[in-house]
Structure 1
Amino acid sequence: MRIRDRRAEDIPEINLVPLIDVILVLIIFFVVTTTFDTRSTLKLELPRADARPADSEQPALSVLVNAEGRYFIDDREALRTDVEAIKSTILEVAGGDRERPVLLRADARTPHQAVVTAMDALGQLGFRRISIATAPEAGAPVVQDPAQ
């Protein structure tokens, strides 16, 4: 009679379930304890706005840029769209008053370069009190000027 040895038939195996459990616990530990760096690479100081309009005795110089990129200073149109033509039109309308406030109105579909060109012309002439006109969002409360 032949006696079999049962130990010789056993094939050794590695149970991976405990190993996976340990690795999963380590991953969770590292994710929870990791600090995320949320600092921005750019340092910005955001502008502040007051909801009340500024009191001004003199009327603002109106610079309008339409959707096609054409410039209108008060009621006069600049014949060309280069900086020199815009500067000469501003000089004709505003004269030598550089302390006069400027209200820059641009259509929402206006190319960005057209607005930058207008601001460049105003800056070269020495205007420093430039405001950009915006429209309130739909549903936003409208702030009334108490002087009116």
Structure 2
Amino acid sequence: MNFRKRPVDEPEINLIPFIDVLLVILIFLMLTTTYSRFTELKVNLPVADSDAARNRPREIVVSVSAEGQYAVNRKPVDGRHVELLAGEMAAAADGHNDMMVIISADATAAHQSVINVMDAARRAGLSQLTFATRTQGGEGGR
């Protein structure tokens, strides 16, 4: 009889199958992930309040027509240059940099026209911007 103690083998964890499974899961997740795009940005549009007063003296309304013509507080701007628009906006602000600029652009206006309004507001020192919207019923709002 052999009474010698046999060395007990420690159990090993084989990591190769574990790594294989993780790589398959990683590949699956990479293929099924949806990536966000610039066109899918969530934009919270302001809600129109019908009870609010219409006469707000701390606002500058800049209108952009479909042809790219501008009007600041219903006064047409002679030309389409950003410098002219910035000058008109600065004159309408009358030195107050805390005024709200409301961009009321036509739905078919070019993106560049709206960007020009934003750039002119920056040059005039006006940092508060919002966009005018129209509800489904056709009622104007902000």
TM-score by length of 2: 0.62
Structure-1 separation of matches of 2:62 and 2:103: 5
The number of equivalent residue pairs is: 107
**Equivalent runs, 1:22-37 vs 2, <5 Å:** 36-37=31-32
Question: AA paired with 2:61?
Answer: S
**Equivalent runs, 1:28-107 vs 2, <5 Å:** 36-40=31-35, 46-49=42-45, 51=47, 53=49, 58-107=57-106
Q: 1:60 to 1:67 in 2, by over 3 A?
A: same
Farther-moved stretch of structure 1 (63-72 vs 117-126): 117-126
Deviation at 1:105, TM superposition (A): 0.1
Q: 1:106 to 1:82 in 2, by over 3 A?
A: same
Q: Once superposed, what is the RMSD of the aligned Cα atoms?
A: 3.0
2:130 — aligned with what? 131
Greater strand content: 2
**Aligned partner of residue 116 in structure 1, secondary structure:** helix
**Could you list the runs of 5+ residues in structure 1 that have no partner in the other structure?**
1-33
| 8 Å contact kept, 2:99–2:128 | yes
**Identity level (%):** 23
Structure-1 separation of matches of 2:64 and 2:73: 11
**Could you list the runs of 5+ residues in structure 2 that have no partner in the other structure?**
1-27
Structure-1 separation of matches of 2:33 and 2:102: 38
**Aligned partner of residue 117 in structure 2, secondary structure:** helix
Q: 1:134 to 1:50 in 2, by over 3 A?
A: closer
Question: AA paired with 1:65?
Answer: V
Kindly report structure 1 stretches of 4+ aligned residues shifted beyond 2 Å: 41-53, 55-59
**Aligned partner of residue 97 in structure 2, secondary structure:** coil
Deviation at 1:45, TM superposition (A): 6.6
TM-score by length of 1: 0.59
2:118 — aligned with what? 119
In our comparison, the structure showing a higher alpha carbon Rg is 1
Structure-1 separation of matches of 2:108 and 2:45: 23
Q: 1:84 to 1:108 in 2, by over 3 A?
A: same
Question: AA paired with 1:108?
Answer: A
Q: 1:42 to 1:68 in 2, by over 3 A?
A: closer
Question: AA paired with 1:115?
Answer: V
